Amino acid sequence: MALEDAKTQIDHAFTRDDLKGPSFENVFAGAPSFLRRRYTKDLRGVDVAVTGLPFDQAVTNRPGARLGPRAVREASLLQPCDAPYGWGYDVLSEFAIADHGDMAFDYAMPSKVPAQIEAHVGGILDAGAACFAIGGDHSVTLGCLRAHAAKHGPLSVIQFDAHTDTWVDDDPARVDHGTFMYTAVKEGIVDPTRSVQIGIRTDNPDTLGFHIIDAPRVHAQTLAETAAQARAVVGDAPCYLTFDIDALDPAFAPGTGTPVWGGLASHQAAAILRGLAGIDLKGGDVVEVSPPYDHAGVTATAAAHVMTEQLCLWSWTRR
């Protein structure tokens, strides 16, 4: 069946007539939507919308994450012909997932972008779909958090990252990928006492009360222990998961703006994500993929898998 479908399927992002099921379109051909899901702005009947937030004007070092959504979509094309490994079910067949495309914005007005992201994500949530975003630099998460908190109330956060992103910033006009979490806590939309940051390996004197499982600790204990600790912190609170690709060591994710050695390996991230099954995940993102600094698409490939794992986490409690 798969071989016969591969002979006839093309541009499945536009030509598929349903929102569920695998795709056997040739990996190297056709329009690259995320996991070959249908591109659509019509969210009727959609359980989950994946959207791109191609903004990278808040970086402190290397730019290029504006190209991340496109690269992650292309990297995802290896996955939609099979059920995600290790979950025991096929999220693509059981849930209606759509690619909502990218958010439009004026690149010359960066100060307006956080509010536009909040409105964009809020519109998806108001339509009844869950929202998972592909960045973009990590500043895009602030608008996502605001939109989710407006719907679900203050959030717990699970943040995979090399940096805490809680550097002090009391200027509301600034847009910065290293201070957005400070802003989120000060606005009361994130509860740091029920949030956890995994993979941290840069110094920041003010962590605002976040529970931190730094990279050396992840390496020193079992991955099941790390996942269990994160689940214990979050409990049954509504949760948002943000994955900065620099949580991975540069050996596994060279294409990012602020790489830091000593990070997580791909297999560690995969095991921890799967070990989080059962959390009340409301939404999430993967950010900071910078294709100009990538090699052989390895960073984008990792990010595509991270996003797929998030979709599996979301659906785990809704099957």
pLDDT value at residue 2:
74
Cα dihedral sign for 294, 66, 50, 73? negative
Cβ-in-10-Å burial (0-12, 13-18, 19+) of 256 comes to: buried
Q: What is the pLDDT of residue 3?
A: 64
Tell me the C-alpha distance between 319 and 315, whole Å.
6
Q: Is 163 annotated as a binding residue?
A: yes
Residue 169 pLDDT: 86
Q: Is 161 annotated as a binding residue?
A: yes
- Backbone angles phi and psi of 262, in degrees to 5: 85, 15
CA distances for 272 relative to 113, 124, 193, angstroms? 32, 28, 20
At residue 1, the pLDDT reads 56
Is 47 known to sit in a ligand binding site?
no
Residue with tokens 């004197």: 205
What gap in Å lies between CA 14 and CA 80, rounded to an integer? 15
Report how far residue 156's alpha carbon sits from residue 317's, in angstroms, rounded to the nearest whole number: 17
User: Where in the chain are the domains?
Assistant: 2-316
Would the pTM count as exceeding 0.85?
yes
Helix (H) or strand (E) holding 300: helix 298-316
106 assigned to a ligand binding site:
no
Which superfamily does CATH assign the domain made up of 2-316 to?
Ureohydrolase domain (3.40.800.10)
Residue 49 tokens, joined: 């919308």
pLDDT of residue 28: 94
Chain centroid offset of residue 188 CA:
22
Per-residue pLDDT tens digits for 81-135: 999 999 999 999 999 999 999 999 999 999 999 999 999 999 999 999 999 999 9
Give the containing element (helix H, strand E) for 207: none
Q: Are strands 211-213 and 38-39 parallel, antiparallel or unpaired?
A: unpaired
Kindly state the average pLDDT of the residues 19-48.
96
The H-or-E segment that residue 96 falls in is none
Q: Is 138 flagged in the annotation as binding?
A: yes
Q: What is the pLDDT of residues 134-149, one digit of tens each?
A: 999 999 999 999 999 9
**Residue 136 DSSP class:** S
Whose CA is closest to 217, among 170, 275, 158, 262?
A: 262
